[in-house]
Structure 1
Amino acid sequence: MFRFTHRNPEMQIVKQHTALVVVDMQNEFFKPAKGTYYELIEDSLKKYNVAENTETLLKTAQDLGYYILHSPHWYYPSDLQWNVPPGAIGHYLIGIGFCGRKDPVDLEGFKDSRSDYYEPFKKYLMDGHTCNCSPHKHFGTIANDMIKQLHMRRVQKVIMAGPAGNICFESHVRDLIETGMEVAVVRDAIGGAVNDEGDGYAAAITNFRFMCNALWTTEEAVGRMKAAASA
């Protein structure tokens, strides 16, 4: 039996207090390749045109002068010293060599690697304005500086997109809600994996319907961003 619940209360954008937050804008997630995270989310990325919609959001935010913050996902060789089992997906990611980097400051072998930024997004992520945060190490923001960076900009409202909708992205959403942020998720700029238990995209969207202030399409998000910028 389905029970009707309230609709999302919506979020009114105030440009100077609003940021576009994107998670995992890397080849590992967007560039077709065997043995990468892309394989888990490929169907949903194609179905919802996630790469194209994400670029639309990035371009709109850049053109209109919104804050853009990016939370990347990297591991270093020293992270292999962990003695705590990393959970199911963590165990899988270690096995496929997920987003490995040689060192925090040594970029040898980084360019065009699985860890590198997805090429079509580089003109937004590397424009000198976007804040590329320190890496998150598992799912959410506890290991990086995303929340501090938002607070230091007096951001109160975030528009969010990211390919791993039901895992890393959802953890970021939950973390930001817990800090008191208003959160709008762009529903066709996220992906999700499928396993034996079901569809991760559907699970994420169901949760966002309960948790978030708004669930927008890319078209709706862009329209609202433009309207707020011209107010």
Structure 2
Amino acid sequence: MQETTSGYTYTQDFIPRKTLEIDLEHTAIFITDPQNDFISEGGAAWGLVGEQVVADKVVEHQVQLREAAKAAGIPVFYSPHTYTEMDYANWTSLNGIDTMMFAIDMFHEGTWGHEFHPDMVPDDNTIVMNPHKGLSNFWTGDAALQLRQYGVQTIIMAGMSANLCVESHLRDAVENGFDVIVIADATAGAGAHSKKAALINYEFIAHEITTTDDIIMRLHEAAN
């Protein structure tokens, strides 16, 4: 295993290391599912993800990313997850994760769990995209359109959950021609192996993996 100057340790020695240049005119923070059901104690998925969320200080790191973005003058995009009452009543083709989420009433529009974490409530620097219902906003939301309208080329990605929505957004962002930096300590997954599996895939797919501290330092340097 090899550690980069960012503090992230690659698990696969043969993967090339890259450090992207931060161009503030074309860079944004992108956070998936910063909602109570994932990152608040008492949320529907807390029993599955809570231990990792706490251990990796995911909420604290996401808050720091938002603050750093505002200080650097770059936008923050949210990709929230939503299911309506009609979705719950009428969806018939549920895969594994859909079945789990529907069973625990996750992201049900109008519930506390569907709301944003109190520390992650959108501010005047936050663009809340249309909600996604599958694992990626690029398919069931307006991510590509919004990012292009704001002139974004480089996405600094964080959020929940590591091996599902974050990885799906990462894959689709790359397929749509965006450069993606994944923040390894600002995401978490369900179960002991999910985040490890996600990080292995990030190493192949992302343009770069780094940490909250490193990207904040680089944003500060780019802005000054």
TM-score, normalised via structure 1 length: 0.87
Deviation, 1:208, is 0.5
Name the counterpart of 1:226.
Answer: 220
1:190 to 158, 179, 187: 187
RMSD: 1.6
2:196 to 177, 184, 202: 202
Name the counterpart of 1:212.
Answer: 206
Measure the CA separation in 2 of the matches of 1:192 and 1:7.
25
| Deviations 1:114-167 (CA, angstroms, capped at 9, x unpaired) | 111100112xx1x22310011000201211011110011111001011031111
Distance 1:100 1:83, change over 3 A: closer
Measure the CA separation in 2 of the matches of 1:47 and 1:80.
32
1:28·1:98 contact (CA, 8 Å) conserved in 2?
A: yes
Aligned residues: 213
1:9·1:213 contact (CA, 8 Å) conserved in 2?
A: yes
- In structure 2, stretches of 5+ residues that fail to align are 1-10
Deviation, 1:78, is 1.5
Name the counterpart of 2:168.
Answer: 171
Name the counterpart of 2:140.
Answer: 143
Measure the CA separation in 2 of the matches of 1:61 and 1:83.
38
2:34·2:80 contact (CA, 8 Å) conserved in 1?
A: yes
Distance 1:43 1:146, change over 3 A: same
| Deviations 1:146-203 (CA, angstroms, capped at 9, x unpaired) | 1110011111001011031111111111110111111000000010111xxx600000
Name the counterpart of 1:100.
Answer: 108
What pairs with 1:55-204 in structure 2 (closer than 5 Å)? 55-102=63-110, 113-122=112-121, 125=122, 127-141=123-137, 142-194=139-191, 199-204=193-198
Three-state SS of the structure 1 residue aligned to 2:76 is: strand
Distance 1:98 1:83, change over 3 A: closer
- In structure 1, stretches of 5+ residues that fail to align are 103-109
What pairs with 1:10-29 in structure 2 (closer than 5 Å)? 10-29=19-38
